[in-house]
A = this chain, B = another copy of it.
Amino acid sequence: MAVPVNELSRLPLLAGLPQVTLAHLAQHATERSFAKREVVLQKGGDGASFCFLLEGRLQGVDFTADGREVGLYFVASGDYFGDLAVIDGLPHPIYVTAVSRSRVVFVPRDLIRPILFAHAKVAEILCTGLSLRLRQVSGQRRILGLANPLQRVCAQLELLFVKDADGKVQVPNAPTHQEIAIMINASRETVTRVFQLLQSRGIVERNGNHMNIDDPAFLEDVAAGRRQPE
């Protein structure tokens, strides 16, 4: 069950590849849809395929040794995932689950692996992606060194927000309270309480799927322990 070539050529990682290479990959690739909450990749599974998300949203999750869920990163439409196991040959380090209904393309490992390293542009994108993810996970790890959950929520928002050209600060596709809770080792209830506090102070406000950060300096100060709200 091949995948249309134009689905692959639209993916940023593969866009620069010769048409003949893309056609070869497409011919051996398969596509599958996943319902919300369905597991896309099993932790411990082997890296039989390199995966691309065509549509939807996924989250890399894991569990502590004593069974609590830990949220690690999100996969957005157009991104690839399952790359670690393909690259280093070890089992998938975490679960990847669908946060919303998702369409995924699987490309067999043995077919795509040599291509990843043989094309300088692909290797550059891959290395850059790994590098950015490493920064993100390290930043996440740094947040967990903070003593109280209020600080951790503020530091997490700092990691997630982006500033647009007009200087407006926003968290695009803001995670739910539960999703934030498992990123920062806190209960969902605690995260909700922190957001009620931040909203009542006019620091953040919900804006459809996004979250406006009206006072980013306040978040920084709280994260750094320099200021207590109220």
Point out residues on A near B: beta carbons under 8 Å: 62, 64-68, 70, 72, 83-84, 87-88, 90, 93-94, 114, 116-118, 120-121, 123-124, 126-128, 130-135, 137-147, 151, 155, 185, 220, 223-225
**CB–CB B65/A128 < 8 A:** no
Q: Max chain B CB contacts within 10 Å: which of A65, A114, A130, A185? A: A65
**CB–CB B146/A64 < 8 A:** yes
A115 and chain B: residue at smallest CB distance: B120
A141 and B133 alpha carbons, distance in the complex (Å): 13
**CB–CB B93/A138 < 8 A:** yes
| Contacting residue for A131 out of B72, B84, B128, B151, CB 8 A | B84
Chosen A-B contacts, 18 in total, with CB atoms closer than 8 Å, are: A64-B142, A66-B146, A66-B147, A66-B224, A70-B142, A83-B131, A84-B131, A87-B131, A88-B131, A88-B132, A114-B120, A117-B123, A123-B126, A126-B127, A130-B131, A130-B134, A133-B134, A144-B185
Q: How far is the CB of A149 from chain B (nearest CB, A)?
A: 14
A84 and B129 alpha carbons, distance in the complex (Å): 10
- 14 more contacts with CB within 8 A, not counting A64-B143, A130-B134, A145-B185, are A62-B138, A66-B225, A70-B142, A72-B141, A83-B131, A84-B131, A93-B138, A114-B120, A117-B120, A118-B120, A127-B127, A130-B131, A137-B138, A141-B144
Q: In the assembled complex, which residues on chain B have CB atoms less than 8 Å from the CB atom of A223?
A: 65
Q: In the assembled complex, which residues on chain B have CB atoms less than 8 Å from the CB atom of A220?
A: 65
Q: How far is the CB of A74 from chain B (nearest CB, A)?
A: 14
Q: In the assembled complex, which residues on chain B have CB atoms less than 8 Å from the CB atom of A139?
A: 93
Q: In the assembled complex, which residues on chain B have CB atoms less than 8 Å from the CB atom of A132?
A: 88, 90
